[in-house]
Chain A
């Protein structure tokens, strides 16, 4: 498993019903492209986050395929409409099979 991987998410705690909110996510990850070589000339194997998803109450909000050209610590900012109180689930999929997830509650208020 890649070391030092830590997901971070910023979601407002409350929103009005039907409000469009801005969500920011960041995962610290080295995103090794697989193109680089080490001092001995050996290719450093690719190790990236290859997929990121966000679901709200079981419904998909965003599903992203990440490619090797995406730089270290991928950051996503996107908008979502909040029809009701519930839970956002954020999931990152690592090349090595690791899955990192974070959940955030949002209330209507």
Chain B
């Protein structure tokens, strides 16, 4: 066979792969009214490595995408409803509910999710949404802390996040949070496990490609907590980090550990400019 026909075969073989590559061109509008930014110019700190950032939604199949386009079809909304009940339920020794201090979640929690994780001045640390929720439970309500990646926590995060849907993620990477952010960046590029993979190996170098049967996204966390079809529940970012690190065949950090808090801040900052989609639906 001559050189030309080999080239022709190569082109044919490449065609079906091209169909998988990269994000698709679909637009995400939830309930026919909330327009989501699923593609944005990469934040400045990423300008050396990529031009644009994409929501994970753009890498999913049409069927999975459709589930997120209507709240009635989005299975995560059941958990939001459950959290709404908890929001109004008094718990702990102080006999207070979330609503006693924060009132209507729709108003008080609007825009909260977009800036988390963020520096907490009085505590002198970077706090995730989950840490803030548990701080409220422990110190304001006198209630027991929730498990960091547990169902109640994920649902409450979803309830708070859904009030910011459509707003672009905007976490601060400088100021007092900078050292944490840099620690997170360090982790993002550190290879772990027997497979010696860093976050970047898949989600920066190979997004759009298939890793066995999975279509790799950029690993953005603008949609977290996310309802995953594989385990039919809400999943928190830290649980997902743990899953990813485990898949590199490493001993993982714990959810809620300083390492994952730093990583969450850094990964969130990679999605600055993308809409908060939480609770999103993924496979």
Contact = CB atoms under 8 A, between A and B. Distances in A.
Interface residues of B, number: 8
Interface string B69-94: 00011010010011001000000000
B72 A28 contact: no
B75 A24 contact: no
A4 interface: yes
B82 A10 contact: no
Contacts of A36: none
Interface in A1-52: 4, 6, 8, 10, 24, 26, 28
Contacts of B232: 72
A4 B72 contact: no
Size bracket, chain A contacts: under 10
A24 B232 CA distance: 20
The binding surface of chain A is classed by DSSP as strand
Contacts of A26: 72, 78
Contacts of B75: 73
A6 B81 contact: yes
Nearest to B72: A10
B81 A24 contact: no
A10 B74 CA distance: 13
A24 to B, nearest CB: 5
Interface of A: 4, 6, 8, 10, 24, 26, 28, 72-73
Given A24-B73, A28-B81, 13 more contacts: A4-B82, A4-B85, A6-B78, A6-B81, A8-B72, A10-B72, A24-B72, A26-B78, A28-B78, A28-B82, A72-B232, A73-B75, A73-B78
